Amino acid sequence: MTATSSARAVLDVEAIRRDFPILATEARGHPLVYLDSAATSQKPRQVIDALAGFYSTCNANVHRSVHYLAERATTEYEAARARVQRFVNAKIPECVVWTRGTTEAVNLVANAWGDRHVGAGDTILVTEMEHHSNLVPWHLLAKRRGARIRSVPVTDDGDLDLDAAIARLSERPKVFALTAKSNVLGTETPVAELCRRAREAGCVTVVDAAQAVPHGPVDVQELGCDFLAFSAHKALGPMGTGCLVSRVEMYDRMGPWQGGGEMIRRVQIDESTYAEPPLRYEAGTPAAADAVAFAAALDYLEAAGPAAIHEHETRLTALAMGLLRDLGIRVLGPSAPERRAGIVSFEVPGVHPHDVATLLDGRGIAVRAGHHCAQPLMRRFGVQATVRASFYLYTTEDEVRKLADGLRAAMEYFRR
């Protein structure tokens, strides 16, 4: 693949595609057209090899035994933590806690921080475009603590309503849970500005970066958030692992969460003391091989260049939006492709999203149809479900054209 960090780099998509064995799949008799990367990305052989490599050469439990393999496994695992730290520019590796993914990372904050700082009558601020994973943990916290939920509405163009956000922040919520990039609309939100305003209002920020980290540069210090959550599997890494990146000062304000091995300092029969973070939040045997494979994924993304990936996705998004508009299809969300790179959600007139997805599937085209785990946002736009096509560094213009051809055929099929 073309390895360069220049912001003006153009991806060598054909070379990249050769790194992804699954892209050679034949689906329903057609070459696979995978347009569901926002649900999970495909994995390059470098990541698959790293996963197999861990089990082939250094498999042992981490942070426990003193033998040769255990030492190798622990070193690799901690090197992966440092790799994440560099990728998102966190201050020190200890800012990074390994979790099962974005969902567990948010649950960790809602419990370990939330239970200590959110009380009866307090406000938890969310946005109307949150994924259920940055919504339901806050519902549970609100129920436990007697707090209330307020939300920042979404404009007709699919942006956060900034004036409303500022007004809500002046009501002094305890925490603001916001997405950096909507998984439905693709909207990139003004995270840095909102975090700055939240900080001025004394409000803690929890950013869902599940769709942001895979698709462009993310600098956690530039964003200025207190917590950042994301998953490995949407960023070329394995499923079932992810990270919570915290401002290191936040650890002083958090209690323990899940108890078990690895998170302790000393255990007696009736009480225990805890390890320092991040290990305090990694109870039990972690997904060490997956962490190591995620480091390989981040190497791959860095070599391709996050800015170049974003530019490539912007180009594909612009192409898709133009082709869909010509077909009379309503695309939800921002009209500017560079502010929604890689994600296009739409409604096909006269055809239900599930029927669209089945018809496209018959041509080997994989899209997502449904509510995308964002039911409040679906209600906001008066739809029950949409079709979502999502692109990544391995998506080609030809694939986007195949999508448009498939949609034209679906519309004609139901019109017959």
Question: Residues interacting with other proteins, by CB under 8 A?
Answer: 28, 352-355, 358-359, 362, 369-371, 375, 378, 384-385, 409, 412-416
Its sign, for the CA torsion 374, 380, 383, 387, is negative
**Residue 410 C-beta: closest distance to other proteins, Å:** 9
Task: Give the Cα separation of 356 and 317 in Å (integer).
Answer: 19
Angle CA 299–304–305, to nearest 5? 95
Strand intervals (E) in 26-174: 26-27, 30-31, 33-34, 96-99, 123-127, 148-152
258, 264, 266, 269 alpha-carbon torsion, rounded to 10° = 30
Task: Give the Cα separation of 1 and 322 in Å (integer).
Answer: 29
Check 58, 203, 243, 373 and give the catalytic one.
373
Cα→Cα distances 351→245, 386, 414, Å: 42, 10, 7
Task: Give the Cα separation of 74 and 31 in Å (integer).
Answer: 41
Query: Which of residues 81 and 402 has its CB atom nearest to other proteins in the complex?
Result: 402
Its sign, for the CA torsion 65, 69, 72, 73, is negative
**Residue 165 C-beta: closest distance to other proteins, Å:** 26
Query: Which of residues 266 and 415 has its CB atom nearest to other proteins in the complex?
Result: 415
| 197: its two tokens | 């305003």
Round to the nearest angstrom and report the end-to-end CA distance of the chain.
Answer: 45
| 270: its two tokens | 């009736």
Query: Which of residues 63 and 132 has its CB atom nearest to other proteins in the complex?
Result: 132
Query: Which of residues 181 and 368 has its CB atom nearest to other proteins in the complex?
Result: 368
Query: Which of residues 31 and 362 has its CB atom nearest to other proteins in the complex?
Result: 362
Query: Which of residues 28 and 91 has its CB atom nearest to other proteins in the complex?
Result: 28
Query: Which of residues 274 and 414 has its CB atom nearest to other proteins in the complex?
Result: 414
Q: Which helix (H) or strand (E) holds 388?
A: strand 386-390
Phi, psi of 172 (to 5 degrees): 60, 60
203 within 8 A of 222, measured Cβ to Cβ: no
245 within 8 A of 88, measured Cβ to Cβ: yes
**Residue 372 C-beta: closest distance to other proteins, Å:** 9
Per-residue b or e along 354-383, where b marks 16 or more CB atoms closer than 10 Å to that residue's CB: ebbbebbbbbbbbbbbbbbbbebbbebbeb
Is 243 an annotated catalytic residue?
no
**Residue 25 C-beta: closest distance to other proteins, Å:** 17
Tell me the catalytic residues: 373
